[in-house]
A and B are shown apart, each in its own frame.
Chain A
Amino acid sequence: MNLNFLEFEQPIAELEAKIEELRLMGNDSDLNLSDEIVVLQDKCKDLTHSIFSSLTSWQVSQLSRHPQRPYTLDYLKSVFTGFQELHGDRHFSDDPAIVAGVARLDGRPVMVVGQQKGRDTKEKLHRNFAMPKPEGYRKALRLMQMAERFKLPIITLIDTPGAYPGVDAEERGQSEAIARNLFEMSHFKTPIISVVIGEGGSGGALAIGVCDKLMMLQYSTYSVISPEGCASILWKSADNAPDAAEAMGLTSERLEELGFIDDIVPEPLGGAHRDFSAISESLKLALIKQLDELREMPVDDLLKRRYERLMSYGSFEETAQ
């Protein structure tokens, strides 16, 4: 079993391993195996297509946290230019779970803020599995306020299992840090675009996700609680995570139907991790399109629109009194 592939991706992994084997054989000997390779590659494409055309919500949840999925710093290299990371909350420390700084999007100056996961064990620990502490949210706030001051549009990249549930985070006011960002982001006089690039985990995600345009990569998720968390509370067992994923409707497709998001960025066949440059190009084009639309809006209209958007959230009925 290939650990870089999820369970439902294993048939693809096996086929790819076979193709690789044939390729090596062809290199070593005088046999011409290119025809066979082409046949197998087509087969592999069809197989990927059929697996990915009927993904369950739970499978999408797993894809959104795929160990090979591109993270914020990957996009900062491929979608943006001239990124300069700016550090620290000026009060307590610098939280590596959130990276932020100035950059250019096809020449346009922007402020980028995003949660950062780690690729290997050491980096995972360093990034605290992309679970920000209050100082992370306060760094984000400081830099977003700076963006407002210098009229830079804000782009946030969301990818977190949630805000860090730890003793120190509580001591330093995790709740207040999140609440403050929600409060302030609702009135920044500059456009805000948020993109869920992987896991949109609850309040920890929303704390950098109050925006004028909300986008999601096709196989990312956004939810109030993780499927495992929801299952262990409501079903009394984390084994019911697939049921919880289904019930909560956390996929981009479902959330678009429910009116939460403005745009889905399509991922290459097999998911973003199969082709970094393709997903980067799609994300870049989508960001430019949304940003140019927002930049034309007078600030008052922008704020009014953002407020109305926030007030429209909710599903309830009003009965005659």
Chain B
Amino acid sequence: MNWLEKMFPTRIRTESNSKRNVPEGLWIKCPDCSATLYQDDLDQNTHVCPKCSHHFRMGARARLDSFLDPENREEVGANLVPVDKLNFKDTKKYTDRLEQYQKSTGENDSLIVVEGQVYGLALVAAAFEFSFMGGSMASVVGERFVRAADVCIEKNIPLVCFSASGGARMQEALFSLMQMAKTSAALNRMSQAGVPFISVLTDPTMGGVSASFAMLGDAIVAEPGALIGFAGPRVIEQTVRQKLPEGFQRSEFLLEHGALDMIVDRRRMRQEIASLLSILQGKPALYGST
């Protein structure tokens, strides 16, 4: 027993070590390196573990805030709100679920679109709020995406979308499925107009989102270690009845199989994307981006 242990009775020591007694949200344990991180430090490091570079999931607002320049921001399609045309009810009504998530996230659906700038380069950025019904794609998501594309075509400025989604939203049934076709058609139009689309895949990007606009970027970028795929690992395991290999459906796996252009550390995202876009758009190098 050392001097420190002698100073405190055992009972108090165990309690102060117990994770359960840590005020929630103040300290975070990194799932990769097990380092205990102070939430504020993590926030300031764009939710990346300073010890091992594990990329934590990030909310849509924080994402856009860290990506865009602080000035000249304007939200697109904020006035679009979901409706329950099917009167969908499982163990709970869809309208009740919507209300619950609208309250907990402060957003009225899972995609946020903001027109702004990165290193002074005008663009439209969209980001998924994964904590809003698993970032699921539904009518409002599709419509906001299309409006984002429309702004881009009209002003000849690029679109950057940060995906984080479990796929289509079952509560909107076929309306939700059709958003895959709708968003892909809008990107076809953008492509014909010669307006670049950069798709950034973050953890996780699955199902209907991955099988539509997320895989249609002129460049497809992923954050390290993100789960990306069409079918979820559990579904695949049940189908093929075998254990999936380590790292299956992670960014590094996709890069190796030729599905991605590059993996970019979140702390370098602004610079890398601004630099890429300035070249695609034939603009001079942006000050501070390289």
A178 to B173, CA, bound (A): 19
Residues of chain B contacted by A222 (CB below 8 angstroms)? 174
Contact B174–A319 (Cβ < 8 Å): no
- Answer whether A310 and B181 are a contact pair too, CB < 8 Å, given A170-B248, A171-B257: yes
Residues of chain A contacted by B258 (CB below 8 angstroms)? 173
Q: Restricting to B135-175, which residues have a CB under 8 Å from any CB of A?
A: 139-140, 142-143, 146, 168, 170, 172-175
Contact B140–A183 (Cβ < 8 Å): no
Contact A248–B173 (Cβ < 8 Å): yes
Give the distance to chain B from A298, nearest Cβ to Cβ, in Å. 19
Query: Is B182 positioned at the interface, with any CB of A under 8 Å from its CB?
Result: yes
Indicate which residue in A174, A223, A319 contacts B231 across the interface (CB closer than 8 Å).
A174
Query: Is B83 positioned at the interface, with any CB of A under 8 Å from its CB?
Result: yes
Query: Interface-forming stretch among B21-29, B56-64, B112-120, B206-214?
Result: B206-214
The contact string, 1 if C-beta is below 8 Å from chain B, for chain A 227-256, is 000100111100000011001111000010
A187 to B189, CA, bound (A): 9
Contact B175–A182 (Cβ < 8 Å): no
A320 to B170, CA, bound (A): 28
- Residue ID in chain B nearest A183 by CB atoms: B184
Contact A165–B239 (Cβ < 8 Å): yes
- Residue ID in chain B nearest A210 by CB atoms: B181
Query: Is A277 positioned at the interface, with any CB of B under 8 Å from its CB?
Result: no
Contact B249–A176 (Cβ < 8 Å): no
Contact B179–A313 (Cβ < 8 Å): yes
A247 to B170, CA, bound (A): 10
Residues of chain B contacted by A179 (CB below 8 angstroms)? 180, 184, 210-216
Query: Is A31 positioned at the interface, with any CB of B under 8 Å from its CB?
Result: no
Contact A174–B211 (Cβ < 8 Å): yes
- Residue ID in chain B nearest A240 by CB atoms: B90
Contact B173–A321 (Cβ < 8 Å): no
A315 to B235, CA, bound (A): 29
Residues of chain B contacted by A292 (CB below 8 angstroms)? none
Interface size on B, as a range, is 35 or more
Query: Is B177 positioned at the interface, with any CB of A under 8 Å from its CB?
Result: yes
Interface size on A, as a range, is 35 or more
A307 to B188, CA, bound (A): 10
A17 to B206, CA, bound (A): 49
Query: Is B178 positioned at the interface, with any CB of A under 8 Å from its CB?
Result: yes
- Answer whether A317 and B239 are a contact pair too, CB < 8 Å, given A179-B211, A234-B90: no
A225 to B64, CA, bound (A): 31
A178 to B215, CA, bound (A): 9
Query: Is A191 positioned at the interface, with any CB of B under 8 Å from its CB?
Result: no
Indicate which residue in A174, A176, A250 contacts B174 across the interface (CB closer than 8 Å).
A250
Query: Is A180 positioned at the interface, with any CB of B under 8 Å from its CB?
Result: yes
Residues of chain B contacted by A311 (CB below 8 angstroms)? 146, 182, 185-186
A321 to B79, CA, bound (A): 6
Give the distance to chain B from A122, nearest Cβ to Cβ, in Å. 19
Indicate which residue in B182, B188, B230 contacts A170 across the interface (CB closer than 8 Å).
B230
- Answer whether A173 and B257 are a contact pair too, CB < 8 Å, given A186-B181, A224-B173, A247-B88: yes
Contact A170–B173 (Cβ < 8 Å): no
Give the distance to chain B from A152, nearest Cβ to Cβ, in Å. 21
Residues of chain A contacted by B78 (CB below 8 angstroms)? 321
Residues of chain B contacted by A184 (CB below 8 angstroms)? 188
Contact B182–A202 (Cβ < 8 Å): no
Residues of chain B contacted by A235 (CB below 8 angstroms)? 90-91
Give the distance to chain B from A238, nearest Cβ to Cβ, in Å. 11
- Residue ID in chain B nearest A248 by CB atoms: B173
Q: Restricting to A153-188, which residues have a CB under 8 Å from any CB of B?
A: 163-167, 169-176, 178-180, 182-187
Contact A223–B182 (Cβ < 8 Å): no
Query: Is B280 positioned at the interface, with any CB of A under 8 Å from its CB?
Result: no
Q: Restricting to A191-219, which residues have a CB under 8 Å from any CB of B?
A: 202-203, 206-207, 209-210
Give the distance to chain A from B173, nearest Cβ to Cβ, in Å. 4
A117 to B217, CA, bound (A): 33
A209 to B212, CA, bound (A): 13
Query: Is B196 positioned at the interface, with any CB of A under 8 Å from its CB?
Result: no
- Residue ID in chain B nearest A313 by CB atoms: B178
Q: Restricting to A279-321, which residues have a CB under 8 Å from any CB of B?
A: 307, 310-311, 313-321
Indicate which residue in B91, B230, B245 contacts A174 across the interface (CB closer than 8 Å).
B230
Q: Restricting to B81-132, which residues have a CB under 8 Å from any CB of A?
A: 81-83, 85-86, 88-91
- Answer whether A249 and B230 are a contact pair too, CB < 8 Å, given A166-B240, A179-B184: no
Contact A316–B239 (Cβ < 8 Å): no
A248 to B146, CA, bound (A): 25
Query: Is B224 positioned at the interface, with any CB of A under 8 Å from its CB?
Result: no
Indicate which residue in A176, A182, A186, A315 contacts B172 across the interface (CB closer than 8 Å).
A315
Chain A interfacial positions (CB closer than 8 Å to B): 163-167, 169-176, 178-180, 182-187, 202-203, 206-207, 209-210, 222-225, 230, 233-236, 243-244, 247-250, 255, 258, 260, 307, 310-311, 313-321
4 closest residue pairs by CB, A with B: A165-B231, A314-B139, A186-B185, A182-B184
Q: Identify 15 residue pairs between A and B in the complex whose beta-carbon atoms are under 8 Å apart, listed by A's number.
A: A166-B236, A170-B230, A170-B249, A171-B257, A172-B257, A173-B259, A182-B212, A203-B207, A206-B177, A210-B185, A236-B91, A310-B182, A311-B185, A316-B80, A316-B139
